[in-house]
Structures are given as structure tokens and as C-alpha cells.
Structure 1
Amino acid sequence: MRFREAVAFAYAMDWPLNIGLTITWNALKTSGERNEGHCLGRGEWDREKYARDELARLCRSEGLPFVALWGRDVGADMGSHVHLSMFWPSRKLAQLVGVIERMSGSSADFVLTPYAADVVARSVCGGWQINMNSRKDDKASALEWAEYIAAQHAKHPALPEIRGKAFGISEAIGKTAQERARPLLEAREAKYGWMRQTAAESP
């Protein structure tokens, strides 16, 4: 799993992973409102892919790349769920909530001002929740969250039965994108590294 490289690349490209999204499908299916437009009737893998596609579509509508990493799990208490870490402008939190409400079929119990709390939005049934990365060293926090996602299966005595990919990284910060951007990042580092050194040597 190349989560650490993906996180580092996201920050190098100025796409901070400031959103943590958890979707608990079992809670949505058993206790959710099932409002029109939800994806709960889809198969497990199709549902997961649809959710990511809708988040990617939202990003494209704002002229942004879909920058995310994710991990799926089946827990004893939560059942089938997915954790995502993604980049999204905090000032547009309402738009993100709107998409999640539609695809999950459950409306928000509350939506707080971004960074006003750790949990800034949650559905009435607890089936989805948005956390914001508000730590001062947000890159270190994003790495910790990525490691938490990557360690999902280590919590189980036996691997959970999951159809389709259990973990993933969006194309925008995947290996191919990292290789493509390497010359740009190296040139930037050479330029600003020289500027930092010159500033440090100035009287």
C-alpha cells in the first residue's frame, strides 16, 4: 500500500487531505431515511464505486482533481463501512454534504462551521460522518489517518470477506501521477531550495 507516498504527493501539490469521511453502510440500510436517490440497493462493490464516482464528479464540477485514499472494512459493531481521506475546500462543505446526503439517502443531523469541531457533520442515523483535519501539523495528521485506514484489517483475527478492492488511491495522487509530476516538483524544489539558502546567507 502506497498511502504514505500518496499523502506526501498530495501535500506537495497543495491538495491537503483535510476531510475524513466515514460511511457505515449497515447503519444506512437498517436505520437510514432512505430518501430518494440513494444507492443502498446496489451491490456492495457497485455501491462503493458509485459513491467515489459521485465524489469525483463533485470535484470535477468545481474544477478540482479527486484527491482521495480509502479503505473498506467489515467490523463486528459497524458492519460494512468505508473510510476516506480526501481534499475538499472547507468553504464548500455544504456542497459535499449535499452529495453525501443524496447518495446515502440520509440527511444531516447537523452541519457545523468548518474547523469549529472535529466532527463537522453527521447524518441523523449516524450512517455517515465528516471529520475535518484541524491539527496545526495537518500533514502529520493526514499520515496518521492514512495509516489508520491502511491498518483496518489488522484489527481482525481473520481477514473480513470483502468483494472488490479493499483499499485504493485516486488517480490524481496515484503512482502514475506522481511519476508524471516528478520533474515539476524537482524543479520547484531546486528553485525554492536555492531561494531559501540565499535568504539564509543574506546579512
Structure 2
Amino acid sequence: MRSSIARRSAVFGSAALLFFLPMGAAVHAEPAESPASALTESLPAEMVTALARDLSLTPEQYLTQSSLGQQLAQFAADARQRFPEVFAGTWLEHGQPIVALAPGADRAAAEAEAVAAGFTVREVAQSEQNLQSQIAQLDSWLDTQPPAIADLVRGITLDVVGNGLVLRTNDANGSLELPAFFPNIRILPSPNPIEPAPIDPSLLTSPLPGD
């Protein structure tokens, strides 16, 4: 009861204060800065420049996409638990939040929740769970291969947008052949390792400044 009376008193007090403000004060009052504007202005100038140069994004667009990315990440974490047989990943495409769904019993329920959250649903062939299972099978198959074949593979990644797998290899001659039961696997060359810049030996023997 006491808290209810206190809340009513606070509301009435605020209304009374607004009512008795001089008209001049109301006309010349500065509008409150929106949270989005405050966040935009808090970005470092170097970051704003890099966003425009490298990503062609304004600070407002960057903050919007960051917020959408967080929402997609939360949806993905929930969907992996509740709709594992149909959930196939999320990503941002030209600023639009995409949720990929594969066929399955829970597809209608998953799509309804994605649409209600404001996301665009993309239909794909395989769920994320299915693709992860293929990665495990490919690992098991590689374990049975001779080193000359197994050592060609440098990594296996899940291609969410392409709804498949990407296999990175050192196979310059194209000698790696995968079994037919691994569909939708793209084989790409592994990026060359970054070599450290050579060091001038004279620098190691030169006296340091001030010596």
C-alpha cells in the first residue's frame, strides 16, 4: 500500500511540475538525446573512418547490424536446442537477418518464431546438425587413409551460407578424391602460411640508441 501511494505521489508530482513550468521554458527546452545517438557519438573517429572505408557503413548502420547480429546469435542458440533437426544457421545478408531452415517435423514452428522475430527464412537442404554429422564422418574416414592422403587435408569448416562443407587442402595436384557419400563438399586450397620478414643480421649487432 505504501509503495502504491508513493508511486502515485511521484506521478502527480511530475505532472504538477510540468504543469507549472513557464511556457518559455517548455518552448526552449532541449530535446533529450536518444540512446542510439549517444552510442553513435561514442564510437572512436578511427572506427567511423574504417567502417566507411572498408565496409561502406555509417555508424548508424553498423550499430543496427550489430544489434541484429546479437538477436540472430540469441535465436540460433535457442533454435539449436529446440529445433535441431531443421535449424541450419543464421547470417546477415545486405543488412537483412537470415535464418536457414531445412525440411523436418519442426520446420513450421521454427519458421513461425523466426518470422515473428522479424527474420527472413531461407529454405535449405541440410540442417546444421546433419552437416556437423558429416564433418564427424569425414574425420573418421580420414583416420582410415594413409598419411599421404590424410595429411593433404588442413581443415574442414561448415559453410553456413552455402549449406555445405569446405575442405582446405594442400593438394596442388588434385589427387585427393572423396567418397561419393560426401555430397556438397567444396575443396579449396589451404592459404599459404605467413612467412616472417627476414631480419637484417647487422641489426642484431648494432648498438642500441643511447649506448
TM surpasses 0.5: no
Higher relative contact order (CA 8 A, sep 6+): 1
Q: Which has the larger radius of gyration?
A: 2
Q: TM-score, normalised by structure 2?
A: 0.27
